[in-house]
Amino acid sequence: MKKITLIVGIALAASLVTLAAEEKESTKAPLKGKSSATAEQHVIVTPADLKWVDAPPGLPPGAKMAVLEGDPTKKGNFTVRLQAPADYKVPPHTHPTAEHITVISGTMNFGAGEKFDEAAGKESPMGSYVIMPAGMKHYAWSSGEAIIQIHGMGPFEIKYVNPADDPRNAKR
């Protein structure tokens, strides 16, 4: 009987030590320089936390972007916000992965097809949610200032239907 009690006691003690070590590990602060969330972290990003920078060169100039999670240029989940000025237009383009968009403020408009046609687009006011499947030709424009949130799987790439519309091809 003493042997069984001793064995159970040792097993229980080992379990408690392991549990305590796991709990200590999960409460550690994230590593310096690490900005994206992982499945083990609880992350809250407030509007004051956002660091707005010029949108990448693959988008027309004038927009600002803030990365909330991940790295859109690398493989994996990402979430970004795009701040579009009034009358901002993104010509017809595609992405190799699905694009999930939530309109945070203002109104964005989205259309599908090879040609930019505002009459064929759909107005998406604040609170709207839009999914553009991988490879779908689509375009967008803002009605006044707007902020959208984009999330998906990286790497996030943009390929313009008409290469002449690609701001990366603009003469400098």
**Nearest C-alpha neighbor of 152 from the set 39, 75, 66, 56:** 75
Prediction pTM value: 0.76
What distance in Å separates the CA atoms of residue 61 and residue 42, rounded to the nearest whole number?
34
Per the CB < 8 A criterion, the answer to whether 135 and 94 are in contact is yes
The tokens for 86 are 């009034």
Total residues belonging to the chain: 172
| pLDDT digit string, tens, across residues 28-42 | 333 233 344 555 788
Query: Rounded mean pLDDT of the chain?
Result: 83
The tokens for 28 are 């550690």
| pLDDT digit string, tens, across residues 91-121 | 999 999 999 999 999 999 999 999 999 999 9
| pLDDT digit string, tens, across residues 62-96 | 999 999 999 999 999 999 999 999 999 999 999 99
Give DSSP secondary structure letters for 113-159: SSS--GGGSEEEETT-EEEE-TT--EEEEEEEEEEEEEEEEESP--E
What distance in Å separates the CA atoms of residue 142 and residue 88, rounded to the nearest whole number?
5
Query: Does the pLDDT at position 122 exceed 70?
Result: yes
